[in-house]
Chain A
Amino acid sequence: MKPAPFAYARPKDWADALKLLAAGARPGAGTQSLGPLLNLRLAQPETIADLRHLPDYAGVTAAAGVLRIGAGTTHAAIEDGVLPGRLGEIMAGVARRIAYRPVRNRGTIGGSLAHADPAADWVAVLPALGATAIALGPRGERRIPTAGFVTGIFETALAADELLRAVEVPVLPAEARWGHWKFCRKVGEFSKATACVLALPGQAPRAVLAALDAPPLVIEDARALMADPVAEAARILDGFPGLTAWRRTIAGAALRHAVELAGVA
């Protein structure tokens, strides 16, 4: 199918982009999700504001213990090592397993987060890394912890007049231990269950359970999960009563494997 008619706009700067947004434009980044929705006519915006040409939309800056990643940074750039250090290593490992390389070449970290598909990778991973979403609105920038950014299926904490400008992720020490496990029936397929665990020296480990047709569940203090993954996973999954038996099983497997991979079980 082909999209319904829409106007294409290319904002020259961020103020222009916000004006377009206020006028009802739908923002587009890599359009790897929006494109199919347009083609299937499930999305029929009057105007698409193509953000890709905005200044500093892509790229990484380091400051005061965080990496600020422009929302337009592609999965491929992250896969190819645009982020330094232990954090870069972890995020490259996640990026490498997002869909297929042609999708990663265009798809962006910000576009994926703002689209808020519950099965998407950054939706699960960024809260585990303690990342903060930087929203830009008419009143300037606003910081939203990614743990609360995705509020529903395809729903976020962004206000109607806000764009996702960047994500800020705390850099990680070399000793950071990381576990990330997802189940896809084939390479490149959307995850059917994802879990992540981040363990930093001297801090309670953090875990995320995601891709269960719901916003990610962020477990800020995952010590109980580390101590008894099987029992704790069962308790956590009681909070997802709608899952089929198989989905519940692999979600439990995801939590256990993430704990194992983080090496703290």
Chain B
Amino acid sequence: MTAGQAARAATLGVGASLRRKEDARFLHGLGRFVGDIARPGMLEVAFLRSPVAHARLHGVTKPAGAEKRVFTLADLGNVRTIRANSALPGFRVSEQPALAGGKLRHVGEAIAACVAGTRAEAEDLVAACGLDYETLPAVHDMLAAPLPTQPLIHDGWSMNAFLETRRDDDVADLDAIAAAKVTRTLRTSRQCMAPIEGRGVLAEWDPRLEQMIVTTSTQMPHVTKSGLADCLGLDEGQVRIVSPDVGGGFGYKGILLPEEIVCASIARLLGRPVRWLEDRYEQLSAGANCREHHYVITAWADRAGKLLGMDCEATVDAGAYSSYPFGACLEAAQVGSILPGPYILPLLRCHTISACTNKPPILPYRGVARTGVCYAMETTLDALARQLGITAQAIRLANLVPPDAMPYRNLVGKVFDSGDYPEALRRAVAAFDPDSIRARQAKGETVGFGLATFCEQGAHGTSVYHAWGIPFVPGFEQAHVRLSPDGVLEVRVGVHSHGQGMETTLAQVAHEILGVHPDKVRVVHGDTALTPYSTGTWGSRAMVMAGGAVAEACRQLGERIAAIGAALLQVQASDVEVADGKVRRKDTGGSVSIADVAHTWYRAPQNLPPGVDKGGLEITAGYRPDPDTGTHSYACHACVVRVDVETGAVVLEDYLVVEDGGRLVNPMIVDGQVLGGLAQGIGTALYEEMPFDEAGQPLAATLADYLLPGTTEVPDVRLDHMETLSPWTTFGQKGIGESGAIGPPAAIVNAINDALASLGAEVFDLPASPPRVLAAIAAARAARQ
């Protein structure tokens, strides 16, 4: 820790590891999630879902006597389909109905909603419904999906693909000049995001306000409000979204759900509140998926390992529909722009395709495309290094953007704000003893050392997103601050905190500016009726955007407070400063508390100075970094694994992360973010996999089959921080929330491949499960014979 960091750590403001204000309610079981909230007269909803992946739906037979408690699309009235369009040329837009109409496009697609007093009774109704459909061949293989031989999932499309993108640098000459060339075919598995709390929706119509109030487990209440109003045909004043405590988001809750539209429609039709709580079976078999990538990637390098160019064919299985608001092509289309990672890459040819298949739609999961892209880049770099006979460290040092090049614009136009990428790598390697690993390998132990370096763009704004043309473009983030009569500061933000600890960190920001004790700062979020518009919590943006907005609102509020305080102190505003919760004379140090200023404004206005600013002690302020192309945090992950060549099991012996997130507003919370992401990255690397059979049936519909890492599968991790400030943000902070989930597959598989190098074996597909590891060893043995 530097002296500056130590000084900050001793405060209550930016840089202090304050304990989380929100933890008391969670640790005492007092959190309020959708499942904890009930209304008088509330009905529970269960969905009749498609048992098949692809079919013509002829009809639903409602159970006799219960016709009015079963709702099909026709019963919902005039609801619009979900359309998450994109302005990217060639994008094919899907129409996702709230309930399936003429066609079934994935297992688990909602067909009818059944309502009853309890969920169990609603499920009884589901079981009593009849379903008439004609099964069609399922499109289950993303590589085959776009071929003309495949049945079309959406009528009127010319092929099963949402989008293709191309970048066509000329790489034809590289074969002649390169000292090394490798080609790899790599695959990452389809995953299910698995927050502990699933989705949940409670919809009620308020006839007094003529308003649909939907309490829903979402990361993006304001975007959900816009989308829901559009689908329901209401104006936006007629929709209020409340997102209470949310038990993990990770991208799974960044979507407008068909179930939200259905519950809202039924609540209005029946005039009663209705609630649907997703269960684990629905989450695994019907909820959105993520992560399934396929790469054919070629890289050329010179003798020193310096990259000359890359060629990448990337396919992402986007599932059956384009989800609102991020759309179906965010992952694949990003591959071309994030493949260079933290490296200097002179040439890139890249073709991507967002395949449409009979699977649930994909959503951007923590790390979004970066987890797969980092895996492709980093394993390919190691393959190059092995071919050249240089170390994994050397090939990275030959290509990382050096600190003196910052800010650096790479070949695809990404601008890296700041950082010392090579230093992160050096610090990571220095924390290990490579000689001892080599010595163990020499003795025949299958242990290996693996590295991954990457950077994470966070809080990217208007200039990046307008080009996507998806249903929203993030602009100025707003925060509202109100000084209450007793001096308590209320802070209202449109982002949502569901594990990020923002009720604490935003209080630290307010304290940093105004000196109000964090205990006297109340952060309000998760209700569109109470908070300013925001696109929500996604893209590692909240601490940069909402942090910046809260700071700006507090700064402006401070000016108002100073003016009143100065009058009470009988000096000019320029003679005072706001600090430590007081307005203080710069000369004598005489002061009046902020609470006294508040009391004067609200309760003793007779003491206000003439000509006081009539705006009062409430401010809504907007903020956007300039430029708004995003911060780039970066990290080096390094690990040692031991591979059991008898069973294919992989043990993580040691894991280290060197991370630079700029100014850490709360270092303890950042550590939590990195560790939580890391557990998910370990899941991607070694455990998580949702296979589908040829009929498009998901084969891991319980947590006995879909393996998530638990406490015993996540090792003690060493964390090391660098703190290079971003020149573009309020405190120099950078988005860092997704980073932990990006590096592990690359670092772990590189370590496995290092362990297996003496056997000539290499793992290509994720997760590196015991069967895959043993198959790699067997393939190498077969190739030698």
Contact = CB atoms under 8 A, between A and B. Distances in A.
A-B interaction:
yes
Interface of A: 1-5, 36, 40-41, 183, 185-190, 244-246, 249-250, 253
B308 to A, nearest CB: 39
A152 to B, nearest CB: 20
A1 B279 contact: yes
Interface in B40-88: none
A137 B46 CA distance: 41
B300 interface: no
A4 to B, nearest CB: 7
Interface stretch (B11-19, B157-165, B709-717): B709-717
A186 B703 CA distance: 12
Interface of B: 118-120, 123-124, 127, 279, 281, 646-649, 687, 702, 704, 707, 709-710, 712-713, 769-771, 774-775, 778
Given A41-B123, A183-B649, A244-B771, 9 more contacts: A2-B119, A2-B120, A4-B123, A40-B702, A186-B709, A186-B710, A187-B712, A189-B704, A249-B648
A40 B712 contact: no
Contacts of A185: 649, 687, 707, 769-770
Given A1-B281, A5-B124, A249 B646 contact: yes
**Residue from A183, A185, A253 having most chain B Cβ neighbours under 10 A:** A185
A250 B127 contact: no
A4 B707 contact: no
Contacts of B712: 186-188
Contacts of A183: 647, 649, 770
Nearest to A254: B647
Given A1-B281, A41-B123, A253-B646, A190 B704 contact: yes
A245 B770 CA distance: 11
A246 B771 contact: yes
A217 B707 CA distance: 28
Contacts of B127: 4, 41
10 contacts: A1-B123, A2-B123, A4-B124, A40-B281, A185-B649, A246-B648, A249-B648, A250-B646, A250-B647, A253-B646
A189 B713 contact: no
Contacts of A4: 120, 123-124, 127
Pairs A-B, 5 closest by C-beta atoms:
A2-B120, A246-B771, A187-B712, A253-B646, A250-B647
A162 to B, nearest CB: 29
A2 B771 CA distance: 35
Contact of B774 (A36, A41, A246): A246
Contacts of A190: 704
A169 to B, nearest CB: 28
Contacts of A41: 123, 127
A187 B709 CA distance: 9
A253 B118 CA distance: 49
A187 B713 contact: yes
B687 A186 contact: yes
A259 B774 CA distance: 23
Nearest to B44: A2
Nearest to B774: A246
B118 to A, nearest CB: 8
B707 A189 contact: yes
B175 to A, nearest CB: 37
A245 B777 CA distance: 12
A246 B775 contact: yes
B647 A253 contact: yes
A249 B647 contact: yes
Contacts of B704: 189-190
A187 B710 contact: yes
B770 A250 contact: yes
Nearest to A249: B774
A109 to B, nearest CB: 20
B129 to A, nearest CB: 14
Nearest to B701: A40
Contacts of A3: 120
A246 B645 CA distance: 12
A250 B770 CA distance: 10
Contact of A36 (B124, B649, B702, B713): B702
